[in-house]
Amino acid sequence: MNRRESDLDITLPKATLLIGVVLVLLGLGLPAAADESALTDGRDVVLAGIYSDKWQSGADIAALGEATGKRVSLVGTFHHLWESEHGVPDNTDWQLEQAWSAQATPVANVEVAISAYDLAAGGYDSAIRKWALRVKGWLERGEGRSLLIAPLQEMNSNWVVYGQDPGNFQSAFRKFVDIFRSEGIDETMVRWVFAPNAWSVGPHQMAEYYPGDEVADFVGISVYNFGATIGRWTGLADSGMAALANVRSFAPNKPYLITQVGSSTAGGDRDSWLRELFALTASDPNVVGLIYFNFIKETDWKVWDGLTPAAGWNDGMQMEGTEYRWPLTTWFQEGPIPFTPYRGRFVDDETLVSEADIDWLANRGILNGCGPERFCPSQGVTRGEAAAFLARALHLPLADSDRFADDNGLPYEADINALAQAGISQGCAPDAFCPHDLVSRGQVAALLLEALDLPAQANVQFVDSTDSPYLIAINSVVAAGISQGCGVDQFCPRDAVNREQMALFLRRGLEMRLVDTCVPIRIGARTIC
Query: What is the SS3 assignment for 284?
Result: coil
For residue 25, is pLDDT > 60? no
DSSP letter string, 418-449: HHHHTTS---SBTTB--TTSBPBHHHHHHHHH
Residue pair 246/206 in contact by the 8 Å Cβ criterion: yes
Residue 512 has what pLDDT?
Answer: 53
512 or 511: which leads in pLDDT: 511
- pTM for this structure? 0.70
Among 8-12, 184-188, 339-343, 451-455, name the one with the lowest average pLDDT: 8-12
**Mutual angle of helices 383-394 and 413-421, in 10-degree steps:** 70
Selected residue with higher pLDDT from 265 and 38? 265
Using CA atoms, how far apart are residues 217 and 256, in angstroms rounded to an integer? Answer: 9
The pLDDT score that the predictor gives to residue 42 is 61
Residue 7 contacts residue 504 (beta carbons within 8 Å): yes
pLDDT of residue 23: 32
Question: In whole angstroms, how far apart are CA 229 and each of 158, 264, 322, 520?
Answer: 20, 8, 30, 14
> What pLDDT sits at residue 301?
97
CA 300 to chain centre: 22
Rounded to an integer, the average pLDDT of 118-144 is 97
Round to whole Å and give the CA distance between 350 and 235. 29
Q: Report strand pairing: 322-323 vs 256-263.
A: unpaired
Report yes or no: 52 and 61 within 8 Å, Cβ to Cβ: yes
Higher pLDDT, 240 or 315: 315
**Cα(467)–Cα(482) distance, rounded to whole angstroms?**
21
Q: CA 242, 243, 248, 253 torsion: positive or negative?
A: negative
Mean pLDDT of the chain: 86
Q: What is the pLDDT of residue 7?
A: 36
Per-residue pLDDT at 280 exceeds 90:
no
Contact 384, 410 (CB under 8 A): yes
Cβ neighbours of residue 218 closer than 8 Å, sequence gap 6 or more: 148, 191, 192, 193, 194, 254, 255, 256, 257, 337
Mean pLDDT of 62-87: 94
pLDDT for the residue 143? 95
Residue by residue, DSSP assigns 189-212 as TEEEEE--BSSPPTTS-GGGG---
**CA 250 to CA 210: how far, in whole Å?**
8
Cα 50 to chain centroid distance, Å, stands at 17
Residue 1 scores a pLDDT above 50: no
pLDDT band at 523 (very low <50, low <70, confident <90, very high): very low
Task: Assign 22 to helix, strand or coil.
Answer: helix
Instruction: Look at residue 395 in the predicted model and tell me its pLDDT.
Output: 86
Q: Does domain 31-323 have CATH number 3.20.20.80?
A: yes
Q: How confident is the model at residue 511 (pLDDT cuts 50, 70, 90)?
A: low
Report residue 426's pLDDT band, with 50, 70 and 90 as the boundaries.
confident
Q: So where are the chain's domains?
A: 31-323, 355-511
pLDDT band at 454 (very low <50, low <70, confident <90, very high): confident
**116 contacts 155 by C-beta, under 8 angstroms:** yes
Phi and psi torsions of 144, nearest 5°: 80, 10
Give me the pLDDT at residue 48, please. Answer: 98
Q: Is the pLDDT of residue 213 over 80?
A: yes
Highest-scoring range by mean pLDDT, 184-188, 391-395, 462-466, 467-471:
184-188
Question: What number is the average pLDDT over the span 94-115?
Answer: 97
- 170-184, 352-366, 451-465 — which is least confidently predicted? 352-366
CB 110 within 8 A of CB 83: no
pLDDT at 41: 62
When pLDDT is averaged across residues 21-48 and rounded to a whole number, the result is 52
**How many helices and strands (H and E) does the chain possess?**
16, 11
How confident is the model at residue 231, as a pLDDT? Answer: 64
Give the distance from CA 258 to its chain's centroid.
6
- The predicted model gives 413-426 an average pLDDT of 93
Contact 45, 323 (CB under 8 A): yes
- Min mean pLDDT across 169-178, 307-316, 318-327, 519-528 is at 519-528
Inform me whether the pLDDT recorded for 155 exceeds 80. Answer: yes
Query: Worst-scoring range by mean pLDDT, 35-39, 87-91, 131-135, 245-249?
Result: 35-39
Q: How large a percentage of the chain has pLDDT more than 90?
A: 62
The answer on pLDDT for 383 being more than 60 is: yes
Q: What is the pLDDT of residue 39?
A: 65
